[in-house]
Amino acid sequence: AADARAAADAQAKAAAEAAAQVRLNEIDRYRGRIRDKIRGKANVPDTVRGRPEVQVRITILPGGDVLDIAIVKSSGNPAYDTAIERAIRSAQPLPVPSDPELFGQFRSLTLNIQHER
């Protein structure tokens, strides 16, 4: 009976790990979709050179509306930071999961957005 219990425990653990991995994959997918939508709306001035990267924290409401945007780490280029901030506002509603448990991961979302030319 101990062997059967150990096997069942191992199976339950494997199932839990698989479910956690599926959730992480879902979270990554949504993060990618949000980043892509913001990039698609970004109207970056031609004066921005190189590959600046800004880190932003976005406070998101259920449904994808943006409550707040904070620059966590500036790219060092104010024109780029401002362009990304504007892009976040115009990208509303952001594509967030409707599942409340998954959405909890997006209520306060920190993203790095790097300029791509």
Maximum separation of any 2 CA atoms in the chain, in Å: 71
In tens, the pLDDT along 54-79 reads 999 999 999 999 999 999 999 999 99
Stretch 102-113: mean pLDDT, rounded? Answer: 94
Here the tokens at position 66 are: 């943006």
Q: Please state the pTM of the whole predicted model.
A: 0.84
DSSP 60-83: E-TTS-EEEEEEEE--S-HHHHHH
Here the tokens at position 98 are: 């409707």
pLDDT at residue 3 is higher than 70: yes
Measured between alpha carbons, how far is 116 from 53 in angstroms, rounded to an integer?
Answer: 10
In tens, the pLDDT along 7-58 reads 889 999 999 899 889 889 999 999 999 999 999 999 999 989 899 999 999 9
